[in-house]
Homo-oligomer: A and B are copies of this chain.
Amino acid sequence: MGDKQQDSVERPADGNKNQTSDSLPTDEDKHKKKGDPNKLTLLTWNIDGLDLDDIKERLSRLLDYLIEYHPDIVLLQEVISPIYQVLQQVLKPYHVLPGSDRSYFTAILLRKSRVQLLESSIVNYPTTKMRRNLLMAYVSFLGHPLCVMTSHMESMKPQSLERQNQLRTVWKTMREQPQDHNVIFGGDTNLRDWEVKNQGGLPEGICDVWESLGQPEDCRYTWDCVTNDNKDLPFPARLRFDRLFLRQAGKGSKVSPDGMTLVGLERLDDCQRFTSDHWGLLCTFVMKPLSQATPE
């Protein structure tokens, strides 16, 4: 309800299935809880823009999801130019920041009413064979300085070595940010668990958000060909490719993981496929003031 006043999104065509509920007490409580304005909501999603089959319906559903969840920050991978154009034109409440202008690329979407863009930059992976990079946005969220990053790291098993190079770059870049910044990375890492072990595990000061939340089984596999048949693979494969890393600020308010859920689990009406071969990861964070932090 109060939704309208703040962040209603314009859409050209609407098959409005997911309307915000009206005034039932329980629903309103729920809505209030879900819409806690102090929480930061972030969605990361590889939308498989390289798969052009059923792209219209899939893109339409993607927009529905974005409007439904209206995350404060959206991190997308495998965006292609036509999709980028639509995002820019349709998602008026968002600032759309592309990671490149050719082939396929990443994008950061910032909900203008909640997140102010201060600066953006790109870190190159010097040895990528797939034109991948690390896209960064310095923003202000409720007055707190925040650094947001996304990347679509080198794909496929044989590129393990390059992928691990990129992982080191990501972690190093996160650790180099100013101490008063919380730093959130989200993206399609293409990581296998053994590759993280291979790097000696998570470095000091960086956590894997899914692990911090207790490794919930229901959002472990973000690329799940057991359930998701978009790729029609003849074997069962499920991996946790999409991950979120967090480096908390060393002073000031700290961002802490609060919840995580998969997005995109519904088959589309027409083609009966899914929005992407990846699930999206919708994550909420709470801001913890310094006073609540554990004393040393």
Interface residues of A (CB under 8 A from B): 161, 164-165, 168, 194, 197-200
Contacts and interface: CB of A to CB of B under 8 A. Distances in A.
A168 B198 CA distance: 10
Contacts of A161: 194, 197-198
A191 to B, nearest CB: 13
Contacts of A194: 161
Determine how many copies of this chain the complex contains: 2
8 contacts: A161-B194, A161-B197, A161-B198, A164-B198, A165-B200, A168-B200, A198-B198, A199-B199
Nearest to A201: B165
A176 to B, nearest CB: 15
Contacts of A165: 200
Contacts of A198: 161, 164, 198
A25 B283 CA distance: 80
Nearest to A127: B197
A230 B119 CA distance: 63
Contacts of A200: 165, 168
Nearest to A164: B198
A199 B197 CA distance: 11
A200 B199 CA distance: 9
A159 to B, nearest CB: 12
A66 B274 CA distance: 69
Contacts of A199: 199
Most buried by B among A161, A168, A198: A198
A164 B196 CA distance: 12
A198 to B, nearest CB: 6
A13 B199 CA distance: 40
- Those 8 A-B pairs whose CB atoms lie nearest each other, nearest first: A168-B200, A161-B198, A164-B198, A161-B194, A161-B197, A198-B198, A165-B200, A199-B199
Contacts of A197: 161
Nearest to A165: B200
Given A161-B194, A161-B197, A161-B198, 5 more contacts: A164-B198, A165-B200, A168-B200, A198-B198, A199-B199
Contacts of A168: 200
A168 B194 CA distance: 16
A248 to B, nearest CB: 24
Nearest to A172: B200
A165 B165 CA distance: 17
A200 B127 CA distance: 12
A194 B194 CA distance: 16
A194 B159 CA distance: 12
A161 B198 CA distance: 6
